[in-house]
Structure 1
Amino acid sequence: MARDLEAAQRFYGAVVGWTFRPARFGSAFSMAVQDDVPVAGIGALASDLAVAVAWTPYFAVDDVDVAAARIRERVGTVAVGPVSFPGGGRAALVADPDGAVFGIWQGPVSSGWRVGLGPAPAWLELRTRNAFDAALFYGEVLEWATGRAGCCEVSYEEEQVVLRQGGEPVARLDSGPVEVGAYTPHTRPRWHVHFRVPELEPAVEAALELGGRTVSVVTSDGRERSIMLRDPDGALFTLTERVTGSETGETGETGETGEAGGTG
């Protein structure tokens, strides 16, 4: 959700390399495309709906009404919907028991929309109080690890719950220093999106030139270099670059690229 659709398109087009085309949901929506694959959507509705400017993951479900009922039964919140959209599809905007916001979608799904696949977002991260409790909630609501064809696998690795699809990690649930009910987005339970770019520094430079700002320094786990940013509207996201060969650093390496900013 953004405040200004054209400004958001300029920003993410320069930073992540997306192009855009109209979405079937109306003039306030656009589809982000990379390598001819739809990878994200932007809706300029934050002001109209009085919702926070933020990236929100949507999980595909077989029946959005059933999923919404499961969320309510497990002390989650159904904030908007389920509602129907032109061209087919129904969705709801919901929250888990700790307040992390996400969406559920019933309807056509392009194969390119899957996180971790090709140019799509690299992976999703849930920052929550207790990753194991969160995995139970999402597993029951979204039917993770049920053994169905195409279903996700769940494992516990390095103090994280890791969600895989087709063997590839698509989400990580991480216990950490978050506060239920906290005002600042940086500290409250939330879903966080990681976008992969070919080179980190040019992408960060483009973000700063267009009014974004850094929220962390560059860090490396030996496999990826990452930095957290805010777009001009304040939405948090992380840019990540794969590290290979001689560029691979030691686990926990911290660089100095970018300004360590506050959470605003």
Structure 2
Amino acid sequence: MVKHEARGTGGVSSDSVFGVPCWVSLSTRDLEAAENFYRAVFGWQWRPNSLGDRFRVALADGVPVAGIAAIASMWQMAVAWTPYFAVPSADVAAARCRERGGTTAVGPLALPPGRAALLADRDGATFGVWEGPLITGWEEWREAAPTFIRLHTRNAFDSAIFYGEVLEWASAGKGGCEVHYDGDEVVLRSDGTVVARIHSGALEAAPDPTIRPHWQVHFVVPDVDACVRAARAEGGSALQWQEGAEEALLADPDGARFTVSVKRQP
């Protein structure tokens, strides 16, 4: 991750929000193929990252919105999109995760100007935490990406307790997250804005990775069918899609899964 530079737009500093999703990052094996694929699907441009040649930052209209790291083979990680949550301390969040039955996959480690860790909850869903200046101010990132995330898990209410304790959801501090219940889903809001949903129904031992517990990253696009055509032309695939539908589950050439939708999750 790279340090956020003030743009004169009132961007949110890293200590103004906590527990909220603040970034999404792709772990992959082939950096060039990933760049070409997501440039074709989303129109993203790319810039180098200060962390080295294996890292890139995606730009949408000049605003940093996502990261790519060619570290899947080097660090023996799954090829996947992962959401990151802002935290006051990556070390504390990782310790809380382990204390509650989760695991640490990578870190916490220093990624100047901050610290990061890649964790898994007790059902195996992977997520990241970030301590330090945000790459893009939180409100600006929410508008520019635009991205929303949903956790598919075994028990939404049990998971909400886990994440609430790890990420300090429902605390009294300003800039935190509120937890609400909507039918069989748990809804996470920050300052009235829905930032994530947790849905019950995933199976821990299911052979299909779309059924096992996981965080699903959704990207809002103007034309789902156009994204599907671009993904296929660049070697990706449509895993769940019907022509004219408002949503599609896609996979890039390396197998990373993500969703495109014509509207932001309410």
Length-normalised TM-score, structure 2: 0.84
Amino acid at match of 1:125: R
> Where does the alignment leave 5 or more consecutive residues of structure 1 unmatched?
244-264
Q: Are the structure 2 counterparts of residues 132 and 74 from structure 1 closer, same or farther at C-alpha, using a change threshold of 3 Å?
A: same
Q: Give aligned pairs, total.
A: 238
> Where does the alignment leave 5 or more consecutive residues of structure 2 unmatched?
1-26
What are the residue-to-residue correspondences of 1:76-115 with 2, within 5 Å? Answer: 76-85=102-111, 87-112=112-137
Q: Is the 8 A contact 2:64 2:141 kept in 1?
A: no
Percent of matched pairs sharing the same residue: 53
1:147 is displaced (CA, Å) by 2.3
1:82 is displaced (CA, Å) by 0.8
Q: Are the structure 2 counterparts of residues 136 and 218 from structure 1 closer, same or farther at C-alpha, using a change threshold of 3 Å?
A: farther
Distance 1:165 1:115 in 2: 14
- The counterpart of 1:47, out of the listed 65, 70, 73, is 73
Q: Is the 8 A contact 1:2 1:45 kept in 2?
A: yes
Secondary structure in 2 matching 1:70:
helix
Are residue 229 (structure 1) and residue 229 (structure 2) matched? no
What's the RMSD between the two structures over aligned residues?
Answer: 2.0
1:63 is displaced (CA, Å) by 0.8
Distance 1:183 1:69 in 2: 30
Secondary structure in 2 matching 1:170:
strand
Distance 1:205 1:71 in 2: 40
Q: Are the structure 2 counterparts of residues 158 and 115 from structure 1 closer, same or farther at C-alpha, using a change threshold of 3 Å?
A: farther
Q: Is the 8 A contact 1:38 1:113 kept in 2?
A: no
Secondary structure in 2 matching 1:47:
coil
1:110 is displaced (CA, Å) by 3.3
- The counterpart of 1:207, out of the listed 217, 231, 248, is 231
Highest relative contact order (Cα 8 Å, sep 6+), 1 or 2? 2
Are residue 7 (structure 1) and residue 33 (structure 2) matched? yes
- The counterpart of 2:181, out of the listed 150, 156, 181, is 156
Distance 2:139 2:33 in 1: 26
Q: Are the structure 2 counterparts of residues 102 and 114 from structure 1 closer, same or farther at C-alpha, using a change threshold of 3 Å?
A: farther
Are residue 242 (structure 1) and residue 263 (structure 2) matched? yes
Q: Is the 8 A contact 1:39 1:113 kept in 2?
A: no
